[in-house]
């Protein structure tokens, strides 16, 4: 766990450190899980960069046909916008996930929804293969240990830890032991919860990304807390940070803000308006995902390249600025060998090709070739401290003489 001596990871506040799993607990459980699951060779963090996660959840409603249509409809939008995307399923071993005495319950919403949307493993395998065949990244949220095994069996590329499962002392180590790149959502979590999972995945050398998430369905604009992206990036500087959102008013502004803050993976629930099934307000339909992707591409273009070095100005920008620079003109006839000064030169626009400008004029400059009054002083006719290799640039800029 972090301590006060770690500047990048300040100590967890006391109020947040209640019954969360310690790194020792999770490491021990991970070692046990390693015996049950053969680790996959982990990929690097690059898979998380600019990754959209499209959460299919249970919107297939137990229908393979509906699930395949959702995959097909969203794959078309993904490819049209040239973004990288995963379609994420939810895996539950329903027979063991729901207690046998409650499987027929109709008054417990979660139990009823899981039961009503149950899909056979072979149908889920078919959906995984459909996602792969569509050129998308395969991904799932396993909600139990059997589901982790199935994800490995189906060779799912990326796993997800749901916000509700961050403190699950059996499931989290099992997911880490699977060795697959994993994204964790942080809705409702404490710092201690997040720290423990981050430390576990580091110890297992498994790539992990962290999504800022507000688990309110739907979320209002003033509940998004996008500044948490800044907090997570500062606390976990070597980890990809993303945004998992359940908002229902906007598909363009929040992704632009999040990208500008450094979020690099983005998640929303998806659905289609079909079969007479109502679409939840926090789910994105294909036309809304199209708006989302277009806003991302525009934000990415606006932000430009990496923030670790000064940008290189494009030629059109250089030409525009050169047109605003003043050139050196002779105030009176100047003889060879005479030093250039305010007494015998002045600055004015326009700048002509090959002309010395205010950028090159210095106290040690002397003229080698005579110049008439009001004539441009050409750089090639001046002895100057300015490097001679600047001559090609000076000869190319400005107006033709």
Asked, for residue 5, whether it belongs to a domain, the answer is no
The residue with greater pLDDT, 242 or 1, is 242
Residue 310 belongs to a domain: no
Which pLDDT does position 36 carry in this prediction? 43
Contact 353, 399 (CB under 8 A): yes
CA–CA separation, 60 vs 301, rounded Å?
Answer: 35
Whether 73 maps to a domain, the answer reads: yes
Q: Which pLDDT value is given to residue 32?
A: 54
1 falls within a domain:
no
Q: What is the pLDDT of residues 205-234, one digit of tens each?
A: 999 999 999 999 999 999 999 999 999 999
Evaluate whether residue 349 is within a structural domain.
yes
Q: Are residues 198 and 253 in the same domain?
A: yes
Residue 101 binned pLDDT confidence (cut-offs 50, 70, 90)? confident
According to the 3-state scheme, what is the secondary structure of 111-166? HHHHHHCCCCHHHHHHHHHHHHHCCCEEEEEECCHHHHHHHHHCCCCEEEECHHHC
Residue 338's pLDDT band, with cuts at 50, 70 and 90, is very high
Quick: pLDDT tens for 159-174: 999 999 999 999 999 9
Q: CB neighbours of 341 closer than 8 A, spacing ≥ 6?
A: none
Residues 6+ apart with CB under 8 A from 302: 256
Virtual CA dihedral for 180, 137, 98, 19, nearest 10 degrees? 50
Q: Which of 257, 275, 303 is the last residue of a domain?
A: 303
299 in the same domain as 326: no
**pTM passes above 0.75:** yes
**CATH value at residue 95:** 3.20.20.70
Strands 366-367 and 382-383: antiparallel
Same domain, 245 and 367: no
CA 358/CA 198 separation, integer angstroms:
56
Distance CA 194, CA 135 (A): 32
Residues 242-259, mean pLDDT to the nearest whole number = 97
Identify whether residues 294 and 325 lie together within a single domain.
no
Which token pair is 205? Answer: 């050398």
Domain span at residue 139 reads 14-303
The whole-angstrom separation of Cα 256 and Cα 242 is 12
Q: Are residues 219 and 296 in the same domain?
A: yes
Quote the tokens at residue 103. Answer: 């499987």
Per DSSP bridges, beta strands 327-330 and 265-270 are: unpaired
Average pLDDT, the chain: 89
| Whether 358 and 221 share a structural domain | no
Task: Looking at 242-326, list the stretches that DSSP marks H as alpha helix, in order from N- to C-terminal side.
Answer: 253-261, 286-303, 315-322
150 φ/ψ angles, rounded to the nearest 5 degrees: -65, -40
Tell me, yes or no, whether 216 and 343 share the same domain: no
Report the pLDDT averaged over residues 243-268.
97
The answer to whether residue 3 sits within a structural domain is no
CATH number at residue 339: 3.90.1210.10
Q: Which of 303, 337, 367 is the last residue before a domain boundary?
A: 303
Cα 255 from Cα 299, distance rounded (Å): 8
Residues 127 and 86 grouped into a single domain: yes
pLDDT bin (cut points 50, 70, 90) of residue 30 is low
Give me the mean pLDDT over the 86-106 stretch: 88
CB atoms within 10 A of CB 302: 10
- Quick check: is 8 in a domain? no
The first and second tokens of residue 147, run together, are 């589901």
Alpha-carbon gap, residue 293 to 398, rounded angstroms: 42
The pLDDT of 170-187, averaged and rounded, is 97
pLDDT given at position 347: 98
From CA 182, how far away is CA 161, in angstroms rounded?
7
Kindly state whether residues 368 and 220 are assigned to the same domain.
no
Domain boundary among the residues 235, 269, 303 is at: 303
Does 159 lie in the same domain as 52? yes
69 and 161 assigned to the same domain: yes
Count of the separate structural domains present in the chain: 2
151 and 131 share one domain: yes
pLDDT band at 22 (very low <50, low <70, confident <90, very high): low
Mean pLDDT of the 257-284 span = 96
Quick check: is 36 in a domain?
A: yes
């Amino acid at each position: 766990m972090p301590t006060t001596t770690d500047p990048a990871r300040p100590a967890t506040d006391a109020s947040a450190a209640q019954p969360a799993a310690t790194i020792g607990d999770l490491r021990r459980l991970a070692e046990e899980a390693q015996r049950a699951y053969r680790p996959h060779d982990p990929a690097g963090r690059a898979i998380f960069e600019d990754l959209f996660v499209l959460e299919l959840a249970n919107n297939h409603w137990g229908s393979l046909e509906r699930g395949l249509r959702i995959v097909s409809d969203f794959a078309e939008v993904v490819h049209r916008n040239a973004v990288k995307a995963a379609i994420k399923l939810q895996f539950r071993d329903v027979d063991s996930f729901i207690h046998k005495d409650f499987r027929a319950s109709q008054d417990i919403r979660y139990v009823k929804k899981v039961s009503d949307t149950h899909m056979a493993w072979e149908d889920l395998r078919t959906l995984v293969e459909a996602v792969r065949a569509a050129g998308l990244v395969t991904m799932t949220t396993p909600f139990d240990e059997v589901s982790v095994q199935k994800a490995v069996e189906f060779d799912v590329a990326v796993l997800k830890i749901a916000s509700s499962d961050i403190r699950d002392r059996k499931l989290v180590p099992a997911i880490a032991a699977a060795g697959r790149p994993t994204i964790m959502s942080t809705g409702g979590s404490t710092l201690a919860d997040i720290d423990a999972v981050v430390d576990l995945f580091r110890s297992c050398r498994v790539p992990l990304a962290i999504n800022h998430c507000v688990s309110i369905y739907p979320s209002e604009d003033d509940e998004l807390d996008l500044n948490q992206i800044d907090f997570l990036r500062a606390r976990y500087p070597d980890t990809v940070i993303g945004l998992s959102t359940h908002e229902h008013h906007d598909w363009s502004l929040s992704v632009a803000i999040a990208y500008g803050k450094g979020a690099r993976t983005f998640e929303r629930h998806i659905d289609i308006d079909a079969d007479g099934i109502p679409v939840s307000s926090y789910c994105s339909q294909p036309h809304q995902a199209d708006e989302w992707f277009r806003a991302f591409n525009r934000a990415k273009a606006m932000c430009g390249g990496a923030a670790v070095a000064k940008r290189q100005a494009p030629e059109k920008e250089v030409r525009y600025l050169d047109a605003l620079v003043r050139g050196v003109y002779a105030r009176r006839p100047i003889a060879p060998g005479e030093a250039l000064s305010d007494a015998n030169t002045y600055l004015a626009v326009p700048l002509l090709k090959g002309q010395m400008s205010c950028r090159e004029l210095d106290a040690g400059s002397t003229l080698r070739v005579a110049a008439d009054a009001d004539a441009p002083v050409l750089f090639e006719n001046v002895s100057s401290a300015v490097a001679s290799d600047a001559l090609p640039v000076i000869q190319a800029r400005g107006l033709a003489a």
